[in-house]
Amino acid sequence: MATLGDVMAYLCEHYPHKQELSKARLAKLIYLADWKSAIERGEQMTNIVWVYNYHGPYVEDVAQEAEVNPAFKVRSTYNPYGNPKDLIELARPQGYPSLTEDDKRIIDSVIASTAEKNWNEFIRLVYSTYPIITQNRFSKLDLVELARRYADDKAS
Amino acid sequence: MAREETWLVRSAYFVQYNWSQLLTAGGTAGSTVTGVLLGIKNWESLWTARILWGLFVLFVSLTLGGISATLWRTRGWRSLEGELESLQGTLGDIQQIYTELFEGQLAIFSGRSLEFGHSERISVYRHEEEGFAMVGRYSANPEFSKKPGRVYPHNEGVIGKAWQEGYAEVDNLPDPESETEEYFRCQQEDWGIERATVERFTMKSRNYVAFALKDPVFSHPIAVIVFESTEVGKLSLKELELALTTTEGQRIVQFLISLRSIEPRLSYASREDL
């Protein structure tokens, strides 16, 4: 299983619009990678326990990793209305020893599906995934079990 | 006349949006011409030389002014791009509360128009490639408002029948408490719903009425609305059909149509293999 730090580092290095990599966007990109991995391989890429909270699938793990892992730096900026916005950046290039070629293929696919989407389209995509469509807010998302159910629903 | 007005209006807009670049271009052309005139000939008339030098300085000033204005305005555009990004964030928030907005519509329909109580529920489903996915649901009973946790197959239950035939009704299902086995048998044999699925129902209804919601212009079905009650004889097909044709019912159809660009859809994710 890939470490969260390696998945974040790969996304920070390969996502084409780095000024968009806020904590919220990065967390949702990792959710999409975990969901795609669950659909295609029957297992998550990371060991995050996803929760459907008020703002969709979100966990604090990503923000915490960015704070404690020296490979990352959090740059605080402001939007034009003065609201704070934290961008996660790679402090120094590093390898991704825990990522397999298949992991990288899945992350590349998620990047290709999302990079040209504006925030509205991106959030719509996240909210259109089977776990968010079918599960109740504030519930834990067992992505592996939900991927199995998704396959069953499609087959029936 | 109209054509001339259009041309004038377009020209005015062009000048409004490009005045600084036009100023730079005019200043550059003027300073080049006057500079060349000053350079190629030694003007004998002092006034001619003074006028040319004056024009040269004026054109150079216009060029510098145009460049400064362009730079200043471009900085403004960057600020506008920032505002656009922020507005997209706001739109994102609207996207997140789409379900709440829709369920608010259902709550008004349920409480104000239909006077439903804690034994009833309204759900709306979209027809997707994978099955019928729930868009929104409302019941005064919070337990009954929970999501179903799956999508329903195209040929299953009153949803599938209403989609194909326009409506579906059942008003005599056995009591799931006292006639449990008979309830499961009816759900399976009459409506094609497996026992395991029925066992997971948070609301074991005995009375169902469902309609296909149709596009008011093209008349094709766009979704299915299902009314349920745990009590027998609670729902009237005719009354519900009438209610759907009134303002509240049409508001639900209009909501689905006008906000479809932000509505979460399984097909939107499955197109990306997600």
- CA gap B133, B193 in Å, rounded: 16
- CA gap A125, A29 in Å, rounded: 11
Q: Do B155 and B42 share a domain, yes or no?
A: no
Judged against a pLDDT cut of 90, whether residue A58 lies above it is answered with no
Q: What's the pLDDT score for residue A80?
A: 52
List of chain B residues whose C-beta atoms are within 8 Å of the C-beta of residue A129: 269, 274
Q: What's the pLDDT score for residue B3?
A: 46
Q: What's the pLDDT score for residue B75?
A: 60
Beta-carbon contacts of B48 under 8 Å, excluding residues fewer than 6 positions away, are: none
Closest CA of chain B from A78, distance in Å: 10
Give the torsion sign (CA, B106, B109, B114, B115): positive
Cα separations in angstroms, B159 against B27, B119, B131, B253:
71, 19, 10, 17
Q: Between A113 and B18, where is the model more confident?
A: A113
Place B217 in a pLDDT band, splitting at 50, 70 and 90.
Answer: confident
Contact B117, B111 (CB under 8 A): no
Q: Do B105 and B176 share a domain, yes or no?
A: yes
Residue showing tokens 């159910």:
A149
Domain boundary among B73, B95, B117: B95
List of chain B residues whose C-beta atoms are within 8 Å of the C-beta of residue A125: 268-269, 272, 274
Q: Do B76 and B182 share a domain, yes or no?
A: no
Judged against a pLDDT cut of 90, whether residue B70 lies above it is answered with no
Q: Do B235 and B142 share a domain, yes or no?
A: yes
Q: Do B107 and B88 share a domain, yes or no?
A: no
Domain boundary among B69, B95, B121: B95
Mean pLDDT over residues B203-208, rounded?
96
Q: What's the pLDDT score for residue B216?
A: 83
Nearest to B95 among A120, A154, A156 (CB): A120
Comparing CA positions, the residue from B226, B220, B3, B257 lying closest to residue B120 is: B226
List of chain A residues whose C-beta atoms are within 8 Å of the C-beta of residue B91: 119-120
Judged against a pLDDT cut of 50, whether residue A130 lies above it is answered with yes
Place B2 in a pLDDT band, splitting at 50, 70 and 90.
Answer: very low
Judged against a pLDDT cut of 80, whether residue B74 lies above it is answered with no
List of chain B residues whose C-beta atoms are within 8 Å of the C-beta of residue A83: 86
Q: Do B149 and B244 share a domain, yes or no?
A: yes
Per-residue pLDDT of A133-149, as tens digits, reads 999 988 999 999 999 99
**Domains of chain A, residue spans:** 4-155
Q: Which residues 93-152 of A are in CB contact (within 8 Å) with B?
A: 109-110, 113, 118-120, 122-125, 127-130, 132-136, 149-150
Q: Do B24 and B141 share a domain, yes or no?
A: no
Per-residue pLDDT of A4-53, as tens digits, reads 999 999 999 999 998 889 888 999 999 999 999 999 999 999 999 999 98
Per-residue pLDDT of B78-110, as tens digits, reads 555 555 555 555 555 566 678 888 999 999 999
Place B159 in a pLDDT band, splitting at 50, 70 and 90.
Answer: very high
Q: Do B129 and B35 share a domain, yes or no?
A: no
Q: What percent of chain B has pLDDT over 70?
A: 89
Closest CA of chain B from A100, distance in Å: 20
Average pLDDT, chain B: 86
What is the distance between the terminal CA atoms of chain B, rounded to a whole angstrom?
56
Q: Between B235 and A80, where is the model more confident?
A: B235
Q: What's the pLDDT score for residue B95?
A: 61
- CA gap B25, B30 in Å, rounded: 9
DSSP 3-state of B117:
coil
What is the residue range of B130's domain?
98-270
Are B273 and A119 a contacting pair at CB < 8 A?
A: no
Q: Do B109 and B204 share a domain, yes or no?
A: yes
Residue type, B197: T
Contact A22, A88 (CB under 8 A): yes
Q: Do B75 and B114 share a domain, yes or no?
A: no
Q: ipTM value, please give it.
A: 0.91
Rg (CA), chain B: 34
Q: What is the DSSP string of A83-134?
A: -EEEEEEESS----TT--HHHHHHHHHHHHHHTT--HHHHHHHHHTSHHHHH
List the single range of A64-73, A75-84, B52-61, B260-269 with lowest mean pLDDT: A75-84
Give the torsion sign (CA, B198, B267, B271, A114): negative
A156 touches chain B (CB under 8 A): yes
Domain boundary among B95, B119, B152: B95
Are B153 and A156 a contacting pair at CB < 8 A?
A: yes
CATH of the domain at B209: 3.30.450.40
Q: What's the pLDDT score for residue A35?
A: 98
CA A145 to mean position of chain CA atoms: 18
Mean pLDDT over residues B37-43, rounded?
80
- CA gap B97, B76 in Å, rounded: 32
Q: What's the pLDDT score for residue B1?
A: 42
CA A3 to mean position of chain CA atoms: 13
**Could you give the count of Cα atoms lying within 13 Å of B98 in the half-sphere of its Cβ?**
25
Judged against a pLDDT cut of 90, whether residue B239 lies above it is answered with yes
- CA gap B121, B106 in Å, rounded: 9
- CA gap B95, B85 in Å, rounded: 15
Q: Which residues pair with B170 in a beta bridge?
A: B208
Beta-carbon contacts of B127 under 8 Å, excluding residues fewer than 6 positions away, are: B154, B163, B221, B223, B224
Per-residue pLDDT of A71-114, as tens digits, reads 999 998 765 556 677 899 999 887 899 999 999 999 999 999 99
Judged against a pLDDT cut of 80, whether residue B269 lies above it is answered with yes
Q: Among all residues of chain A, which has the CA nearest to that of B76?
A: A80
